[in-house]
């Protein structure tokens, strides 16, 4: 997954590694792994900051940088700028503009990756309490439109067509439907406001994923699962996890303990 480079620890891409560039940092950022988390490759040690610096250096205009935007938006300030390997000036807002201007096929997960990138950039901007102007305003309007488009394509059983945002209709290919529904619902559970997470459309999608995953349990075999099947299950689980974290709260709060009681528990 990682290798030791001249400029620190860098990620690798390939079968059994990152499926595509920037994927590792995006996953670490989404799961709130701190930038001080230690990484080791042989005798060389580094931190998540090494991965952040690698992604900053490898910014390239005209390429798919959706997952790079996800990862960097989790670790950088929204007003931070840097230079890539070619000496070009970059920032989160420039990455945002590149993603908005890029043509993306609507029939695969590349479309949801871009939507995730825009979503995380907007979330970072919101945390800074600066106005959502310029490219951020463009991104907000773009996401609002895609929320409407996505929900208009949803099937009555809660699923989405295997061709993601390019088609509507149910499919006999349950794994591909699980994959598209997992990807789309994962994005929706991250990007929609709390007030929209218990609408009929979202509940149908949650129930669909829950039922499909329950049916897979009895016949699941990790050793024979294809990468595409693993991707489908992983994103379905990710969608349900995010939904659970945002919608459900503990019914009972943990009782307060005195210092002496806390010490006794530890012993």
What pLDDT shows up at residue 8? 86
Task: Report pLDDT for 267.
Answer: 42
Q: How far apart, in whole angstroms, are the C-alpha atoms of residue 50 and residue 45?
A: 10
Query: What predicted TM-score, i.e. pTM, was given to this entire model?
Result: 0.90
Domain boundaries, the chain: 1-152, 157-247
Confidence (pLDDT) at 261:
42
**pLDDT score of 262:** 46
pLDDT score recorded for residue 15: 81
Q: Give me the torsion for CA of 237, 56, 50, 85, rounded to 10°.
A: 140
35 burial type by CB count under 10 A (0-12 exposed, 13-18 middle, 19+ buried): middle
pLDDT, averaged in runs of 10, over the chain (267 residues): 85 86 96 96 94 97 98 97 98 98 96 99 96 97 98 98 97 96 99 97 98 89 86 97 91 56 43
pLDDT at 19: 85
**Across-strand partners of 38?**
47
Residue 43, Cβ density class (10 Å: 0-12 exposed, 13-18 middle, ≥19 buried): exposed
Determine if residue 134 is left, alpha or beta; phi over 0 gives left, psi from -120 to 50 gives alpha, anything else beta. left
Do 59 and 95 form a contact (C-beta atoms < 8 A)? yes
pLDDT recorded at residue 256: 60
């Amino acid at each position: 997954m990682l290798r030791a480079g001249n400029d620190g620890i860098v990620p690798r891409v390939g079968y059994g590694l990152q499926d595509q560039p920037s994927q590792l940092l995006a996953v670490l950022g989404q799961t709130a792994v701190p930038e001080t988390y230690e990484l080791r490759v042989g005798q060389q040690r580094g931190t998540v900051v090494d991965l952040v610096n690698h992604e900053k250096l490898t910014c390239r205009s005209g390429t798919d940088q959706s997952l790079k935007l996800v990862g960097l938006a989790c670790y950088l300030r929204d007003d931070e700028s840097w230079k890539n390997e070619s000496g070009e000036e970059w920032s989160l807002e420039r990455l945002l503009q590149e993603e908005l201007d890029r043509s993306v096929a609507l029939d695969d997960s590349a479309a949801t990756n871009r939507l995730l990138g825009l979503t995380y950039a907007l979330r970072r901007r919101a945390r800074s309490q600066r106005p959502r102007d310029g490219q951020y305003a463009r991104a907000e309007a773009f996401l609002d439109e895609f929320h409407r488009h996505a929900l208009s394509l949803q099937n009555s059983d809660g699923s989405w067509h295997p061709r993601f945002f390019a088609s509507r209709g149910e499919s006999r290919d349950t794994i591909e439907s699980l994959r598209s529904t997992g990807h789309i619902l994962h994005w929706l559970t991250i990007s929609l406001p709390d007030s929209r997470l218990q609408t009929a459309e979202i509940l149908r999608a949650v129930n669909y994923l829950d039922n499909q995953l329950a049916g897979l349990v009895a016949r699941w075999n990790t050793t024979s699962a294809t990468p595409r099947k693993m991707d489908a299950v992983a994103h379905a689980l990710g969608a349900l996890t995010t939904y659970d974290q945002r919608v459900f709260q503990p019914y009972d709060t943990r009782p307060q303990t005195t210092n002496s009681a806390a010490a006794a528990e530890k012993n």
